[in-house]
Amino acid sequence: MTSRCKNNPIHLYNSIHLSFITSSKQELVKVSIPVGFTEERTYAISVILGHFLGLEFEVLIDETINHYKFDCCTGQIKMTDAFFGMFDTDYLSKENIPQSSYSSQNQYSNRFEVLFGSEAISKTGNHITCETDLVASTFFMLSRWEEYCIPKKDEHGRTVERELFSVKHNLHHRPLVNEWVELLWNMLQEAGCSQNRKQYKFDIRITHDVDHIARYDSLKKFIRALGGDLFLRKNPVLMLNTLKDFFAIRFGSKKDNYDTTDWLMDVSERYNTKSHFYFIPSAKGENDARYDISSPRIKEIITNIESRDHIVGIHPSYNTFKNPGQFKDEVERIQKVAKTIKEGRQHYLRFSNPETWNMWNDAQLTHDSTIGFALDIGFRAGVCYDYPVFDVIQRKQLNLIERPLIIMEGPLVNTFGGGESSMKAAQNVIDQCKKFNGEFVFLWHPENFNHTLWKPHVWLYESIIQYALNVK
């Protein structure tokens, strides 16, 4: 990348890290921003214009304006600054989370949500005035700064989902950021942008958090299973089958019910895609795995996955999400077993903003996929594209890429019932991903294919894959 400087000292001071230019063959989109919150504004603009749209652009600070200007070849977009201009220093407060929003449409978009500013968009000649602050709106969703500000946590230390803005207002089944990107792109074209945008192709990413690899990995669990069959489910036949399974597995005549990695790879290969398996490197608590990542059996499974050209990643244990020392230790443990570890997801989706992202970044992992819902499905970050993350405390963009989780099997069963209503809910979300040629990230835990309580719902797995890939 090259950089361009202007004579204005403010421009000069910021020219190096605010220019995103790969060549001079095309007309740049020149973005002027007001003074203040340079890092936040630039991050949002760079993700929209650079990462999502793939445009060449330059960001300049203009001390004479209180709005955003997008200058194209023959026209200009003037966009209202309805958020950052309200603050002198800190905006990180629960009171600054939007209290309401509303949907609108115009000649540039069939549907978009207004979080900051108003819906008004007008055009005079080749000049467009947009009173919706798309910069602050995008920053709000992608940075997840509301999760830093919301004090209420659930029993696992996660932000209570019903407290999130998008959930409160029933917007989490829409990729709001994708809608804003399309709105801005259409306005840029109207304003004379002659560049070609980045082209996306819809894709599916099938992931598996390997919480358990063995059903009867302890005598306690075996006895508990027998008791459940007899007293909870009141099914003596099921208890006898559990007994048969236990001894068959222990004496090696049968593969453990929870070890489904080969079958999962078979399914993925049948649909010409790959499975991503995320392993827990440490077993230290009740909520963690009971397998040892360095055991011969786990090493054998990982080697088999890699030999079939599927992907192995990390699933950091329950207490790592705010523990840099333990996190670092677990990364080192799994790196001794697997060839390449670059991606994964936090166990129980435990996430603390920005600590968790920073640990992933410091470990030089490239892709996290923790940002998703534990109790619902949809777009927690408002987007179905991957994107670089931002540290709201250090006020800087990190090298880490977030690949948002869209659907986990748990909510399909526990929230939507596991039947046709679950399938319909999944289809609606997948349709949104397809609409924007995004990436549908899907999670199903391997042990839940043969678990007694989950077997009636296993049909959803392939049905969802088939729907996503348009397979009859």
Q: pLDDT tens digits, residue range 419-436?
A: 999 999 999 999 999 999
Q: What is the pLDDT of residues 84-112, one digit of tens each?
A: 999 998 999 999 999 999 999 999 999 99
On whether the CB atoms of residues 341 and 315 are closer than 8 A, the answer is: no
Q: What is the pLDDT of residues 186-226, one digit of tens each?
A: 999 999 999 999 999 999 999 999 998 876 555 555 566 56
The fold of the 203-215+256-468 domain, in CATH, is TIM Barrel (3.20.20)
Q: What's the count of helices (H) and strands (E) in the chain, helices before strands?
A: 15, 18
Q: Give the least confident one: 245-259, 275-289, 404-418.
A: 245-259
Q: Considering only CA atoms, which of 386, 362, 136 is closest in space to residue 370?
A: 386
Stretch 461-470: mean pLDDT: 97
**Confidence at 46, pLDDT banded by 50, 70, 90:** very high
| DSSP classification of residue 130 | E
Q: Is residue 315 predicted with pLDDT exceeding 70?
A: yes
Q: Give the least confident one: 3-7, 59-63, 88-92, 325-329.
A: 3-7
pLDDT attached to residue 387 = 98
- The per-residue pLDDT of the chain, averaged, comes to 89
**Which amino acid is it at 131?**
E
pLDDT attached to residue 259 = 84
- Contacts of 19-26 with CB under 8 Å at 24 or more apart are 19/58, 19/59, 20/46, 20/49, 20/50, 20/56, 20/57, 20/58, 20/59, 21/56, 21/57, 21/58, 22/56, 23/56, 26/56, 26/194, 26/195
Q: Which two tokens stand for residue 86?
A: 């309200």
Considering 251-255, 257-261, 376-380, the range whose residues carry the highest mean pLDDT is: 376-380
pLDDT attached to residue 27 = 87
Q: What is the pLDDT of residues 346-362, one digit of tens each?
A: 999 999 999 999 999 99
**Confidence at 308, pLDDT banded by 50, 70, 90:** very high
Radius of gyration of the chain (CA): 24
pLDDT attached to residue 219 = 55
Stretch 176-180: mean pLDDT: 98
Stretch 302-307: mean pLDDT: 98
Domain borders along the chain are 9-190, 203-215+256-468
Comparison of pLDDT for 132 and 471, the residue scoring more: 132
Q: Is residue 257 predicted with pLDDT exceeding 80?
A: no
Q: Is residue 441 predicted with pLDDT exceeding 70?
A: yes
CB crowding 321-354: b at 16 or more within 10 Å, else e: bebeebbeebbebbeebbeebebbbbbbbbbbbb
| 236 phi and psi angles, rounded to 5 deg | -60, -35
**Confidence at 1, pLDDT banded by 50, 70, 90:** very low
Q: Considering only CA atoms, which of 279, 369, 381, 378 is closest in space to residue 330?
A: 279
The span from the CA of 465 to the CA of 205, in Å, is: 10
The span from the CA of 62 to the CA of 370, in Å, is: 37
Comparison of pLDDT for 256 and 83, the residue scoring more: 83
Q: What percent of the chain has pLDDT over 70?
A: 85
Q: What percent of the chain has pLDDT over 90?
A: 78
Q: What is the pLDDT of residues 380-395, one digit of tens each?
A: 999 999 999 999 999 9
Residue whose pair of structure tokens reads 């990436």 in the numeric block? 439
Question: SS3 of 323, please?
Answer: coil
SS3 content of the chain, % helix, strand, coil (to 5): 40, 20, 40
Q: Is residue 469 predicted with pLDDT exceeding 70?
A: yes
Stretch 127-146: mean pLDDT: 98
Q: Which two tokens stand for residue 447?
A: 């042990």
- Please return the burial class of 272, using the count of CB atoms within 10 Å of its CB with bins 0-12, 13-18 and 19+: exposed
Length of the chain: 472
Q: Kindly list the distances between the CA atom of residue 46 and the CA atoms of 18, 42, 54, 186, 339, in Å, as whole numbers in the listed order.
A: 9, 6, 9, 17, 33
pLDDT attached to residue 286 = 72
The order of strands in the sheet holding 57-61 is: 19-20, 57-61, 29-33, 67-71, 76-80, 127-132, 117-124
The span from the CA of 310 to the CA of 288, in Å, is: 24
**Confidence at 2, pLDDT banded by 50, 70, 90:** very low
